[in-house]
Amino acid sequence: MSIIKIDETSSARKGKGAVSSAGRCDEELDLLDVLSIIFSRKYTLALFTALALFIGLGVSYLLPQRWTSSAMLSVAEAAQLHSMEKMLTELQVLDIDTKITPASLLTDFIRNFDSPRLREQYLVGTAYFKQLAKGLEQSPEERNWLINSILSGNIESQSSSDSKKEYLFYEVKYSANSAPAARELLQGYINYVTSVVEKELQQRITYHVDMVKGKAIGQYNLDKKRVENEHSIKLERLEYALQVANSAGLKKPVWSINGTSTYDDWDYLESLGSEGLKRKLKIEQSVEDPTLLNVDLQNRRVYIEKLQALKISELHIEPFKYMRVPYEPLYRDSPKRSLIALMSAVVGLITGCGYVLLSNAIKAYRQSLKKKADTPD
């Protein structure tokens, strides 16, 4: 009897093990089962995908648009600098070196182009900003936030100095919420910076001319005073020599040993005799402006007159050469609606799969609970 009980117990254990193993097998789902469940609910998946796609497209139309216009600039050529070269030639004739070159003009343009102060000054005067700033005039914080949001990342310049190109060029960009606005903003800012460079160039030339003119006039006045002092001393020495000659009784010039030349030395003026000294003193006294007899001073006077007659006219130059003019962009930078639509569809599909599997798992769990409730003890 005991042996039979053991067998029955063993059989019972085996039965329970078989049931447990079968339960585990029923609970496991292979890939084919998952695909079968998903395919059976394909219309639900399509509904989730379409709904997510519609939401994604709607959001993409609500997001702010960003269009970027660009231009490429290189060192200016003679055609762009004709008026400036003519003026620089006139300055070089007068020995005025302004150190202005086509490369320095392009550098000055980019330096001003990258100036945050100039960017803000230009932006606040555009119709584009005034349109965006409607209703913000009474709120300086919102206005400043709008300015910073427009300037941050929407305007930039990039140099070719890091590339393998042997020539230098710059690419400048401006972004806006529409293609026409981007091109107009970039072209307008280039023109605005060009006018600033023209003014700076004119101020620089005027400064150099004024510096040279001031130095020339100061040197001329100093040398003029020296010549006047020399003439005054000359008159005094002649008067002293005349007194000495009269005291010595020398009326006639003292002739040299060979009798062919007069000993006329400023250290021995008495050798001219009193008659010669009187004549020379009279001639020197008749000179009202001793600078008229100084060739160097006369040349400096002419130089100063040329400087004073020099007029720095208003310059109209293009401090660069266009390799590519600002254009109206054909493609939007953001939002990328095709990418947003694709990502939304993928998210919708994944969400739909999760919903289908979860609902199927909940349904299976409820059925198992119902079976257990219907099964008698």
The better pLDDT of the pair 152, 167 is held by 152
Rounded distance between C-alpha atoms, residue 344 and residue 337, angstroms: 10
Residue 180 structure tokens? 């026409």
At 138 the pLDDT is 62
Do residues 168 and 161 touch, judged by C-beta distance below 8 A? Answer: yes
At 147 the pLDDT is 87
Rounded distance between C-alpha atoms, residue 320 and residue 366, angstroms: 78
- Beta-strand (E) ranges in the chain? 67-74, 155-159, 169-176, 321-324
Rounded distance between C-alpha atoms, residue 306 and residue 308, angstroms: 5
Condensed to tens digits (0 to 9), the pLDDT of residues 253-285 reads 765 444 544 445 555 566 677 777 788 878 888
Mean pLDDT computed over every residue of the chain:
79
At 94 the pLDDT is 83
pLDDT at residue 352 greater than cutoff 80: yes
Residues paired with 262 in a beta bridge: 255
At 13 the pLDDT is 42
- The type of residue at 346 is V
Whether pTM > 0.85 for this model: the answer is no
Condensed to tens digits (0 to 9), the pLDDT of residues 180-192 reads 999 999 999 999 9
| Cis bond before residue 335 (omega within 30° of 0) | yes
Condensed to tens digits (0 to 9), the pLDDT of residues 64-122 reads 778 899 999 999 887 777 777 778 888 888 888 888 888 889 999 999 999 999 999 99
At 194 the pLDDT is 93
Q: How confident is the model at residue 7 (pLDDT cuts 50, 70, 90)?
A: very low
The mean pLDDT value for 294-318 works out to 85
pLDDT at residue 375 greater than cutoff 90: no
- Calculate the dihedral angle through the C-alpha atoms of 137, 139, 141, 147, rounding to the nearest 10 degrees: -20
